[in-house]
Amino acid sequence: MIPYIAKWFTGGGPFMWAILAVLAFAAAVVIERVIFYYIICRGRGTKIVAGVARCLNGGEAERALELASGAAPVTVLIRTAVERFNAGMDVTEIQEGIEEAAIKELPRYSNRLNYLVLFANIATLLGLLGTITGLQLAFSSLGSVEASKKATMLATGISELMVCTAFGLMVAIPSMVAYTMLNNKQLRLTRDLDESVVKLMNFLRKKEVKGLKPEATGAQDAP
């Protein structure tokens, strides 16, 4: 199996190595995004906000901060809001803190994701380029070959050089599929963040209207 793959790969010409490099970069991006989306950002922000609200209603400020611990953008924004609320800041100041943190955190959802589209296009174009340059070499070499061998040589050359186009598509198609799936996940995470921040701010705004301090315990407000 391995000798066959090696023969198939070398038959595609020098551009096969360039496409292989594109495949390596695309795989690295996919792995990094999967880890970020499905491991680092695995918790739902709306559930975290519900837990934070219960803790703040019960006067458990430290417990609320513990629930908002984590490296995901949504938890960073929630933690920023809770820290400012515990410091006695009003809703306007809390909102300003969230907006400042969002400038840094929101782009993390889409970092490097657009590279997959770029890699898919590059792989396709490299495959076509390898085929075109290979055909040029094949046709140019026909002049030094006997007439009886020209058809066989041309057919063999075209068959081998089409491998480059096929390999380019084999890299481009999974890259586009991965981009679509990861982009949909990114959109869901962004919507969850927006919903979580709105619910948390509405909850804190109600507490401010009622004049409750971070250490108050009587209210049962929830987002």
Q: What is the pLDDT of residue 3?
A: 73
In 3D space, the residue among 86, 64, 88, 85 whose CA is nearest the CA of residue 75 turns out to be: 64
Q: What is the pLDDT of residue 136?
A: 75
Mean pLDDT value of segment 89-96: 92
**pLDDT at 4 exceeding the cut of 80:** no
In 3D space, the residue among 159, 170, 172 whose CA is nearest the CA of residue 7 turns out to be: 159
**pLDDT at 160 exceeding the cut of 60:** yes
Separation CA 74–CA 190 (nearest Å): 9
Close Cβ partners of 10 (under 8 Å, ≥ 6 residues apart)? 16
Q: What is the pLDDT of residue 141?
A: 64
pLDDT tens for each residue of 10-46: 777 788 899 999 999 999 999 999 999 999 998 889 9
Say if CB 48 and CB 75 are below 8 A apart: yes
Q: What is the pLDDT of residue 70?
A: 87
pTM: 0.82
